[in-house]
């Protein structure tokens, strides 16, 4: 499995306007990394529907108990199911040998290099016989493993429009109310960040949790529900065992994965890692912790790659094959509950998509600060679709989190489709649906003065004030990103296939230039002028106005 490492920088002193998780380095000549993150263990993946045979149990050191699974009247999967595969073109053509080396650049980490090439930290450490695997230097050559010769299964499991949250038409609450399993009675306490950086706990129903995760990560709620059933029987079984109750998707003792929200967030994170990794970050290989490596079949679509990757995380090859190689695996569970997924229409994003005219998200004459280059729309595994801007407030009280005195403004005409938990979703096609067409996502907008759902705005109208509310933030700033038909749009996409390109994020004529594999870094270019993403308010290289 590819490991994901995060570098959290704790900021001190009088500088504010920082983002939550910067990957900048104080010394551009040396990159410090964590070579071997902590490992977690996963519970068995066992389908529990009446129309399919149970899969082989996943090997685990944790004892399980026999649980009676009641018969559920579901849609049987036809023996000869005729489907129209997604028309998505293959990701790209691979050279016979693939990439042989990576030259270390400023901001690189070994974990990110492993992620980029679909390998593991352990493989890179072994391949390069690193004396001190915690240090890399700029210009260092990292040898990469040869491309595997065995392909992953060619079976398409889902169209992209059933992985991405591309529709608001599914009633999560009503669906869960109609089920007889454990999920129906589940609640969870979820932390919500407030404008001042504090957290407020709210008790949510299962339906509210599923909706929350689906909206945040922009992942279809039907997929999350099907995974809960496939892994732990939460839709059909009212009495799962204790391990299945506590860890329905991932068994983790060394990290806080307790509760439905954290379990589903883990799943959505890894689904997005596979989906956007395949589409936008040149992900081509899949590697298990046991060392087996596969090349993703070039004819797959992004949603299927996402599921193949998801089921490989902390799993063994037998369980993985059971899930993804035949219609009797995960597909049978999905089909039983939600019908033939390939009735949905793909592709979600046309290859000739053009961004509408967008202005800067603040007022004329105000000097803001470009504090964050391309990074995840929601978590780093999604498309690197977001930018960060800090407002001009001059604070003398030492506070990092506060409600800004300056307005965040609409970048285009539209209607507020959603306004909650620090987020505002500005729908540009006017239908009031945040899952279709162009949508601008604003995060860290304080409840105070925030535009309400249904408000029609013109370009430049105020929609709220920046703060620390929503998501994760250590200082007041604006996080802004684009989506189209529910899919996160990268700020720019240097690694996208030529036949599947994405329009560059352009705000008031300023175009984003990202740095591949270096989250939060990059530039804004306009008529020969270049701004550099920089934390803080001291340097002139990140000051932006119009």
* Contact (Cβ atoms closer than 8 angstroms) between residue 86 and residue 279: no
Nearest to 305, CA basis, from 322, 332, 324, 290: 324
Convert the pLDDT of each residue in 154-178 to its tens digit.
999 999 999 999 988 899 999 999 9
| Predicted local confidence at residue 347, as pLDDT | 85
| Predicted local confidence at residue 208, as pLDDT | 98
Give 17 or 416, the one with higher predicted confidence: 416
| CA distances, 120 to each of 7, 37, 115, 172 (Å) | 18, 11, 7, 36
CATH of domain 368-544: 2.70.70.10
Q: Strand, coil or helix: what is 528?
A: coil
**Tokens representing 496?**
């996208």
Crossing angle (nearest 10°) for helices 206-217 and 260-280: 20
| Predicted local confidence at residue 75, as pLDDT | 57
Give 472 or 344, the one with higher predicted confidence: 472
Crossing angle (nearest 10°) for helices 221-232 and 260-280: 120
Burial of 58 by CB count in 10 Å (0-12 exposed, 13-18 middle, 19+ buried)? buried
Q: What percent of the chain has pLDDT over 70?
A: 81
pTM of the model: 0.81
**Which helix (H) or strand (E) covers residue 532, if one does?**
strand 529-532
Confidence of residue 117 (pLDDT cuts 50, 70, 90): confident
Nearest to 495, CA basis, from 327, 254, 282, 314: 282
Convert the pLDDT of each residue in 236-254 to its tens digit.
999 999 999 999 999 877 6
Mean pLDDT lowest for which of 7-21, 299-313, 411-425?
A: 7-21
* Contact (Cβ atoms closer than 8 angstroms) between residue 225 and residue 37: no
- What is the mean pLDDT of the segment spanning 312-322? 95
Nearest to 226, CA basis, from 333, 69, 74: 333
Cα–Cα distance for residue pair 25/523, rounded to 1 Å: 16
Q: Answer whether the bond into residue 347 is a cis peptide, omega within 30°.
A: yes
Convert the pLDDT of each residue in 516-531 to its tens digit.
878 999 999 999 999 9
* Contact (Cβ atoms closer than 8 angstroms) between residue 472 and residue 465: no
What is the sign of the dihedral through the CA atoms of 494, 499, 500 and 505?
positive
| CA distances, 172 to each of 34, 220, 491 (Å) | 40, 10, 31
Mean pLDDT lowest for which of 40-49, 69-78, 431-440?
A: 40-49
- What is the mean pLDDT of the segment spanning 449-459? 98
Beta-bridge partner residues of 487: 484
| Predicted local confidence at residue 12, as pLDDT | 35
Q: Which ranges in the chain are annotated with CATH 2.70.70.10?
A: 368-544
| Predicted local confidence at residue 80, as pLDDT | 54
* Contact (Cβ atoms closer than 8 angstroms) between residue 180 and residue 70: yes
Q: What percent of the chain has pLDDT over 90?
A: 63
- Residue 415 neighbours by CB distance under 10 Å: 20
Confidence of residue 90 (pLDDT cuts 50, 70, 90): low
Task: Calculate the average pLDDT of the chain.
Answer: 83
pLDDT value at 322 more than 60 = yes
Q: Which residues contact 313 (CB under 8 A, 6 or more apart)?
A: 1, 42, 250, 270
């Amino acid at each position: 499995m590819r490991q994901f490492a995060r570098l959290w920088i704790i900021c001190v002193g009088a500088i504010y306007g920082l983002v939550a998780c910067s990957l900048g380095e104080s010394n551009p000549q040396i990159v410090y990394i964590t070579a071997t993150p902590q490992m977690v263990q996963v519970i068995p993946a066992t389908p529990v529907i009446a129309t399919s045979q149970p899969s082989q149990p996943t090997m685990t050191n944790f004892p399980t108990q026999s649980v009676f699974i009641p018969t559920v009247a579901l849609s049987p999967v036809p023996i000869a199911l005729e489907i129209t595969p997604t028309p998505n073109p293959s990701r790209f053509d691979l050279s016979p040998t693939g990439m042989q080396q990576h030259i270390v650049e400023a901001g690189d980490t070994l974990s990110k290099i492993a992620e980029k090439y679909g390998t593991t930290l352990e493989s890179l450490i072994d391949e390069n016989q690193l004396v001190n695997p915690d240090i890399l230097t700029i210009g260092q050559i990292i040898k990469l493993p040869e491309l595997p010769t065995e392909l992953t299964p060619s079976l398409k499991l889902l169209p992209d429009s059933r992985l991405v949250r591309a529709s608001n038409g599914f009633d999560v609450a009503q669906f869960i109310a109609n089920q007889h399993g454990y999920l129906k009675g589940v609640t969870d306490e979820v932390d919500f960040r407030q404008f001042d950086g504090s957290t407020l706990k709210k008790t949510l129903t299962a339906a509210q949790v599923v909706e929350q995760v689906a909206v945040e990560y922009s992942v279809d709620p039907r997929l999350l529900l099907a995974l809960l059933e496939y892994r732990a029987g939460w839709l059909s079984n009212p009495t799962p065992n204790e391990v299945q109750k506590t860890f329905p998707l991932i068994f983790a003792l060394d990290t806080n994965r307790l509760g439905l929200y954290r379990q589903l967030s883990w799943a959505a994170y890894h689904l997005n890692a596979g989906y956007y990794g395949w589409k936008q970050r040149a992900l081509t290989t899949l590697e298990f912790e046991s060392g087996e490596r596969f090349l993703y079949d070039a004819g797959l679509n992004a949603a299927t790659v996402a599921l193949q990757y998801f089921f490989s995380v902390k799993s063994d090859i037998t369980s993985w094959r059971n899930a993804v190689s035949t219609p009797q695996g995960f597909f049978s569970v999905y089909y039983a509950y939600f019908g033939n997924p390939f009735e949905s229409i793909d592709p979600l994003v046309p290859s000739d998509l053009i961004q509408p005219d967008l202005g800067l998200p603040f007022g004329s004459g105000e000097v803001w600060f470009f504090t964050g280059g391309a990074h995840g729309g929601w978590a780093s595994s999604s498309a690197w679709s977001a930018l960060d801007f800090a407002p001009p407030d001059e604070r003398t009280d030492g506070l990092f989190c506060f409600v800004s005195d300056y307005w965040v403004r609409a970048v285009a005409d539209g209607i507020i489709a959603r306004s909650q938990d620090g987020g505002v979703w500005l729908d540009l096609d006017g239908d009031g649906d945040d899952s279709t067409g162009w949508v601008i996502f604003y995060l860290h907008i304080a409840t105070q003065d925030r535009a309400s759902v249904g408000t029609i705005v013109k370009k430049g109208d105020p929609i709220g004030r920046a703060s620390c509310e929503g998501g994760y933030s250590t200082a007041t700033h604006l996080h802004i990103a684009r989506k189209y038909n529910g899919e996160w749009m990268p700020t720019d996409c240097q690694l996208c296939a030529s036949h599947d390109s994405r329009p560059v994020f352009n705000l008031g004529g300023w175009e984003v230039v990202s740095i591949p594999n270096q989250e939060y870094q990059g530039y804004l270019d306009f008529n020969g002028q270049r701004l550099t993403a920089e934390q803080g308010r001291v340097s002139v290289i990140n000051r932006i106005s119009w």
